[in-house]
Amino acid sequence: MFSELEPRPADPILGLTVKFKADSNPKKIDLGAGIYKDAQGNTPVLDCVKAAEQIRLDTETSKTYINSAGSPLFNEKMTELMLGEHRVIAENRIRTISTPGGTGALRIAGEFIRACKPGTTIWVSNPTWANHQGVFAAAGLTVKTYPYYDYENKCLDFDGMLEALGQVTADDAVLIHACCHNPSGMDLDQQQWQQVAELAREVGFLPVVDMAYQGFGEGLDEDASGLRLLADAVDEMIICGSCSKNFGLYRERIGACSIIGRSAEAADIIYSVLLPTVRVNYSMPPAHGAAIVETILDSSELTARWHEELREMRDRIGGMRQLLVDKLAEKSVTRDFSFITRQKGMFSFLGIDQAQVQRLQEENSIYIVGSSRISIAAIAPDNVDYLAESIARVL
């Protein structure tokens, strides 16, 4: 059976990481991986996470199985984190389950959509996170794209987005990034979110909101304001959340999938379909990461500490955006890179071509994916001069 297999190309981002690790240049920079790094290039364990882990170590009494939905307290706290005091919670119209990371949430969302309507088309932004198309295709959905980023003008192609979404059908699903769009960094503003919400209500498509970076844009509530507007406008919606970035729990693989129904009765039916979907995928979600998150969110002291640590990460990324633009100007780069400061979150497109990307790798040991997407979080005060000099050289 295995003799018929053909080798497949390596994931472009993971492949870059392998090359980076093998590079002996002491000045090397990895701008490919979407992982937060501090000014020293480390991905630290948050202090609030360490405190929560100690509490778990002291109080955990069993390693027995949990149920397919995961921890009820985690699910409750994640629902509140994403939706605040939204009326769908008071109306008992939402059901949340724990998942293995944000990717697991997306896969369960895809499987759930297929269970509702086999052959459904889901529309994703162009560009979008590289794994979106693969995850939804593997779940049995047809994947199409709508315009989102204007590469030439380095801004949101909102007119193109609205025009495309106006042509989808009520049987389709539409994936929208809640904040800190990966890979462009260009987010919808409140007025644009309102227009999308009105369009979703008018057309009747199912919104699927991917919120992988809540708190990395402007703030926890600010970053969720768009999806809350959307939840005001539609009767049905899916939200996929992740704790990888904002809690720094990358390897713990903990996320959440929340589905809003038209009524409490409809939400109960949704839940009854979700649980067997989980059962045949991974049976039960991991517990450790969920326990950390719920311990933090259930403690006013740890929550306050988390808010502060999250603010520090957000401010560092924003500061690196401005510093990179300033350093490029210092190196006499005449091209306008000010668009970088208008974006949010961890990513941005530099807007250089693939030949220049390759030169950065070969001549300067600076690793960037072919699209020129860079992780702003990997920039630091001690490497930004070298980065700006290298970009100036290839330009």
Residues known to be catalytic:
129, 210, 245
- In angstroms, the CA 208 to CA 176 distance is 6
